[in-house]
A = this chain, B = another copy of it.
Amino acid sequence: MRRFVIGQAKNLIDQTRRRRPQPHHHNNLRLLSLLRPSASDSTTVSSPRLFSSSSSDMPGSDSSSSSSIPVTLDSINPKVLKCEYAVRGEIVSIAQRLQDDLKTNKDAYPFDEIIYCNIGNPQSLGQQPITFFREVNKLAWYFCFWFVPCIGHELTCAIHLSQVLALCSHTALLDESATHGLFSSDSIDRAWKILDQIPGKATGAYSHSQGIKGLRDAIAAGIEARDGFPADPNDIFMTDGASPGVHMMMQLLISSEKDGILCPIPQYPLYSASIALHGGSLVLSEENQRDIVDFCKKEGLVLLADEVYQENVYVPDKKFHSFKKVARSMGYGEKDISLVSFQSISKGYYGECGKRGGYMEVTGFTSDVREQIYKVASVNLCSNISGQILASLVMSPPKPGDDSYDSYIAEKEGILSSLATRAKTLEEALNKLDGVTCNRAEGAMYLFPCINLPQKAIAAAEAAKTAPDAFYCKRLLNATGIVVVPGSGFRQVPGTWHFRCTILPQEDKIPAIVNRLTEFHKSFMDEFRD
């Protein structure tokens, strides 16, 4: 049997070779092998009989060792090669090497730490988790730990609950704020409600591919409260952050290189990256929501709305409006426009990046296309349950009157007002720099200053075979330990040079960052001024 099958496989490979001759021998073969061994495989394998079944099986005696490494850049998916992801690109790799070297080699550098301003990763820069979200999530696991052994035994459960509460009461040993932070009454209540929504209270089980129904109910209710228009829990697909949702939709919607995507510029590299991965191509995009809705409606475009920064608005006179709210307020319903809204727990004031939670709200698709979206979601089974719980919590935070409401609001407003302050300080500092102009950050987590680079610097960059903005950013990193992203990764207007810098370093670090940035820029300009 084995020989027979090997024989068949060899024939297939030969057919493949005949079908598509290739330049290099090691590229001849585009067959991969994929194995899930059973216990029985594993053992027959280790029997010497097979090993010595033919002398040509002996290591070393193989004639075609040139074909040993079958995969080269020429032979992998060209779409992967095309894909660029600046936010975690070369500069981040350099930063990671520097960070490793700093541990042992502190004196070799003019800085003692790497400050990652390349990506919206608040807690890596010291932002505190929102107590309520963490405590409910923690308590859900905590209770579940007690609960699981006694599913179906209400009496035992009651005892377990009292035990948990006894435990809670004894946290009086800890300082007051911590006790409150850990066990506010509404978070305990919420944790139990959430557990009740999880089939069998099994937080360690795969959920429905769209996410736990009860949690999707909470999200839909949150969207309704936000927009004033109905939302359907069956339109919610929970994801491990926004990125997998975006990939899912790209995979579904892009069927060839001829498919175009209208994107805002500057754009987040996730889109150019995943569009490239799935074989689409960018074109310019428009900035006005209502115009865009009309435009999409008229032209029959699918509107994919990244709304992960819906909580990050720093100017009092401005307010977030979801595309769905805008479309519905224009009188466009399910039948008028196909709209997907992406949300994530990684942004906002919560910044729970490491938990990988989010959802997409999918409206205006026919039921047969919806089934295809569900199928694609199913292939990865489900998103992680902690992330699902947090996603439901950020869309249903504490309400006035809840035990934890005041502390929750204090934390939320503390973070958002601090972000606004940091944005202003950094923007003003950047605008003071010679040849740098920076717009006011009214939302999100980033500044995107434009640098008017001297010709000498551009020439030096060309000599170093790198883009001028990348050249500037590498110099910045090596001189200050500050990691930013070159504008070229964001499809900046050709001939202009920018970098993206987050506003996330903690307030007490901002002055030092401003100083380092200012000193570096001065010396850079002194070196390259025309």
Contacts and interface: CB of A to CB of B under 8 A. Distances in A.
Nearest to A331: B59
Q: Copies of this chain, how many?
A: 2
Interface string A372-385: 10011011111111
Nearest to A286: B5
B39 A318 contact: yes
Contacts of A318: 39-40, 42-43
Nearest to A442: B39
Interface in A73-128: 73, 75-81, 83, 85, 87-89, 96, 119, 121-124, 126, 128
Q: List 3 A-B pairs, minimum CB-CB distance, nearest first.
A: A67-B300, A59-B331, A39-B443
Contacts of A336: 59, 65, 68
A523 interface: no
B29 A301 contact: yes
Interface string A24-68: 001011111111111111111110001101000101101011011
A512 interface: no
A202 interface: yes
A378 to B, nearest CB: 4
Contact of A290 (B51, B259, B301, B375): B51
Given A9-B284, A145-B138, A291-B2, A300 B70 contact: yes
Given A2-B288, A170-B167, A252-B80, A33 B351 contact: no
Interface residues of A, number: 197
Contacts of A284: 5, 8-9, 12
B32 A304 contact: yes
A433 B300 CA distance: 56
Given A149-B128, A380-B243, A386-B386, A42 B319 contact: yes
Contact of A303 (B33, B173, B181, B356): B33
Nearest to A212: B354
A412 interface: no
A247 interface: yes
A155 interface: no
A36 B307 CA distance: 6
28 contacts: A16-B258, A29-B299, A31-B259, A31-B301, A32-B253, A33-B285, A39-B313, A39-B314, A44-B287, A45-B321, A51-B330, A67-B298, A71-B365, A76-B252, A77-B252, A80-B251, A121-B206, A123-B205, A129-B145, A134-B204, A141-B141, A163-B174, A204-B353, A247-B380, A277-B379, A356-B382, A384-B386, A384-B387
Given A80-B376, A262-B34, A124 B206 contact: yes
Interface centre among A75, A199, A379 (most CB of B within 10 A): A379
A244 B239 CA distance: 12
Contacts of A64: 298-300
Nearest to A42: B321
Given A5-B284, A121-B206, A387-B384, A62 B300 contact: no
A352 interface: yes
B35 A351 contact: no
Contacts of A298: 62, 64, 67
B34 A261 contact: yes
B305 A35 contact: yes
Given A123-B205, A252-B77, A277-B251, A70 B167 contact: no
A47 to B, nearest CB: 8
A481 to B, nearest CB: 14
Interface string A300-325: 11111111110011110111110100
A354 B123 contact: no
A203 B291 contact: no
A267 interface: yes
A87 B378 CA distance: 9
A196 to B, nearest CB: 13
A155 B135 CA distance: 24
A296 B170 contact: no
Contact of A270 (B77, B203, B208, B379): B379
Nearest to A128: B148
Contact of A121 (B44, B205, B297, B378): B205
A356 B384 CA distance: 5
A41 B19 CA distance: 53
A260 B206 contact: no
Given A42-B321, A163-B173, A243-B381, 4 more contacts: A34-B271, A43-B321, A67-B300, A129-B148
Contacts of A375: 80, 83, 85, 88-89
